[in-house]
Amino acid sequence: MKNILKISICSLLLFSSCAKHIYVDYQYESENTGRIVLQPTKATEKTFVSIDNNIIVNKKNVKSVTINNVPVGMHDVYYSIDSWIYKEALDANYKIDVKKNNEIAKIVTVPPYSTGYWVAASLSAIIPIIITIISVEDATYYDDPYYY
């Protein structure tokens, strides 16, 4: 019974997110810089973020990305996810004009979860319950004295 509980907990952890708010300094100098905040509509897995072809975030689970000390001027910002759990790929490209001491926020629209994700998540929750029911029925059917 304890093993089944462990399996249930592990399967739920498999599909839970440990996404974080990520804070990155683009450069050390803070003069003539601004801030870019990328806010996905929901947490994303295996996230890549780059500015002007410089990788800022590499395969992280993300709730938001704040990039400090971005030089003033026009920048290409790329937000991408590499995960099977979404219906479609996300490859967002933004041209952002950073101004001195200014914060620019961009909402990143994340696609819905795929059918495969929902099937896997459902099975990971249902299978331990079925195993528990079967093991309880087996123990009571044979009138097992060690069941209690």
* Residuewise pLDDT in 10s, the chain (148 residues): 555 556 555 555 555 557 789 999 999 998 999 999 999 999 998 899 999 999 999 999 999 999 999 999 999 999 999 878 888 888 999 999 999 999 999 999 998 887 777 677 777 777 777 777 776 655 555 555 665 5
126 phi/psi in degrees, rounded to 5: -80, -40
Which pLDDT does position 2 carry in this prediction?
57
Cα gap 115→93, rounded to integer Å: 26
Question: Torsion-angle region of residue 98: left (phi > 0), alpha (psi -120 to 50) or beta?
Answer: beta
User: Is this model's pTM higher than 0.95 or not?
Assistant: no
Asked whether 49 and 70 are in contact (CB, 8 A), the reply is no
The strand pairing partners of 80, in sequence order, are 48, 91
Which pLDDT does position 14 carry in this prediction?
55
Cα gap 102→34, rounded to integer Å: 5
